[in-house]
């Protein structure tokens, strides 16, 4: 480093910080240092870097620090009322403690600017950020991601373009349809939220198409993509009418659903679960009356997210990676009363 510092005419500390992508060094200098380090063939020694990292980290001895869980929901309490998301939180918190960290919920109030949020986080010495799912789009404005390591939960928050930890919804759909088939159902339908399906890259529908092919389902029922965005009474009643027509035409024996509103619609339409139609959910936590379906293993998602974040922090990976990847946690089938195995005829 001393060699590089001499060559560049800056201090050794500046070189060191630039190599660590430290935000206090200008982006230009960071680029310059990296270029020179390449030219001069500089390779960091993992042990000396580890030692240095440790010396840098010697903040309060008992814990290494805090990572932030950013809550920007309009009604901030709503986020963890979803059992799925609460389990993300718990899985993340427990895993963090194991490594000497703590997860703090940072409620980002609407009247606080992104820049100010950034300052608050930095002032608290926070370098790692977890972004849980959000229903509304988040405007990050001029928030500087290069100062933080980031992991998102799922694809509902489209930016920053960080690594994402989420459930493997494609494989889970194939698995769930397979299970319903194994339980003796033949006319298997899928009604999932159109926007949700779109956001997860069509994973649910792709999985459904493939499962139909794999199992040779005949007839292969067409999927019903629901439109539930505003959840106004008008929208709900329109959806219920569409559902009624679809049920009448397709006569499914079993359904895989994602909308929390659908079970009530089925009731209103006079379908009993499971006597008239058996129902499984793409989650078994948040859909009323539906206890069979995909256990997305939310705690493992939370745990994996924190571990991914800590690993990024360990190697000082900040900002949006050049090749963001998706880290998928496998779901499991959960038996339940809403979809009992059919008696053999």
Residue pair 55/70 in contact by the 8 Å Cβ criterion: no
By CB under 8 A, is residue 183 in contact with another protein? no
Helix ranges (H only) for 160-314 are: 169-182, 194-199, 203-215, 233-250, 262-268, 298-314
Q: How far is the CB of 293 from another protein (least distance, A)?
A: 19
Say if residues 214 and 220 touch (Cβ distance below 8 Å). Answer: no
Length of the chain: 345
Least distance between another protein and beta carbon 342 (Å): 25
325 burial type by CB count under 10 A (0-12 exposed, 13-18 middle, 19+ buried): exposed
Residue 171 found at the interface with another protein (CB under 8 A): yes
When binding is defined by CB under 8 A, the residue of 46, 60, 216, 233 that contacts another protein is 46
Is 217 a binding residue for another protein by CB under 8 A? The answer is no
CA torsion 238-242-244-246 (nearest 10°) is -170
**Residues touching another protein: how many (CB under 8 A)?**
53
Q: Which stretch binds another protein (CB under 8 A): 25-33, 211-219, 268-276, 287-295?
A: 211-219
- Give the 3-state secondary structure of 139-192: CCCCCCHHHCEEEEECCCCCCCCCEEEEECHHHHHHHHHHHHHHCCCCCEEEEE
- Distance in Å, CB of 307 to another protein, minimum: 6
Among residues 155 and 260, whose Cβ is nearest to another protein? 155
Say how many C-beta atoms besides its own lie within 10 A of residue 322's C-beta: 6
**Rule CB under 8 A: is residue 40 a binding residue for another protein?**
no
Which stretch, 69-77, 123-131, 151-159, 170-178, contacts another protein (CB under 8 A)?
Answer: 170-178
Given candidates 1, 21, 29, 49, which one binds another protein under the rule CB under 8 A?
49
258 lies in the site for another protein, by CB under 8 A: no
The single-letter DSSP state of residue 247 is H
Is residue 229 at the binding interface for another protein, with CB under 8 A as the rule? no
Peptide bond into 160 cis (omega under 30): yes
Cβ 330 to another protein shortest distance, Å: 7
DSSP conformation class of 287: S
| Residue with the two structure tokens 């009247």 | 111
Interactions with another protein, residue window 312-331 (CB under 8 A): 312, 314-315, 323-330
The reply to whether 203 sits near another protein by the rule CB under 8 A is yes
148 is an interface residue for another protein by CB under 8 A: no
Site residues for another protein per CB under 8 A: 43-51, 53-54, 57, 62, 98-100, 165, 168, 170-171, 174, 198, 201-203, 205-211, 213-214, 222, 297, 300, 303-304, 307, 310-312, 314-315, 323-330
């Amino acid at each position: 480093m001393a060699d590089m510092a001499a060559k560049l005419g800056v201090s050794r500390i500046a070189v060191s910080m630039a190599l660590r992508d430290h935000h206090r060094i200008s982006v230009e200098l960071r680029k310059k240092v990296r270029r020179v380090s390449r030219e001069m063939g500089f390779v960091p020694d993992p042990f000396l870097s580890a030692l240095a990292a440790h010396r840098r980290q010697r903040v309060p001895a008992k814990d290494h620090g805090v990572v932030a869980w950013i809550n920007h929901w309009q009604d901030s309490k709503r986020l963890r009322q979803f059992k799925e998301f609460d389990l993300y939180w718990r899985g993340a918190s427990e895993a963090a403690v194991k490594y000497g960290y703590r997860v703090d919920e940072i409620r980002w109030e609407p009247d606080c600017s992104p820049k100010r949020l950034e300052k608050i986080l930095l002032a608290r010495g926070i370098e790692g950020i977890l972004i849980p799912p959000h229903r509304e789009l988040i405007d990050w404005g001029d928030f500087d991601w290069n100062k933080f390591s980031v992991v998102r939960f799922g694809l509902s928050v489209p930016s920053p373009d960080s690594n994402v930890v989420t459930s493997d919804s494609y494989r889970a759909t194939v698995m769930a349809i397979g299970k319903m088939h194994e339980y003796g159902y033949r006319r298997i339908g899928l009604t999932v939220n159109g926007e949700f399906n779109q956001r997860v890259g069509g994973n649910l529908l792709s999985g459904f198409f493939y499962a139909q092919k794999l199992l040779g389902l005949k007839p292969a029922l067409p999927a019903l993509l629901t439109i539930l965005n505003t959840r106004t009474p008008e929208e709900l009643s329109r959806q219920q009418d569409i559902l009624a027509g679809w049920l009448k035409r397709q006569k499914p024996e079993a359904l895989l659903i994602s909308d929390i509103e659908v079970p009530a619609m089925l009731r209103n339409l006079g379908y009993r679960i499971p006597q008239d139609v058996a129902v499984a959910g793409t989650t078994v936590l948040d859909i009323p009356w539906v206890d069979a379906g995909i256990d997305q293993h939310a705690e493992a998602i939370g745990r994996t997210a924190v571990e991914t974040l800590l690993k990024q922090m360990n190697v000082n990976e900040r900002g949006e990676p050049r090749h963001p990847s998706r880290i998928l946690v496998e779901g499991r089938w959960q038996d339940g009363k809403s979809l009992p195995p059919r008696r053999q005829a």
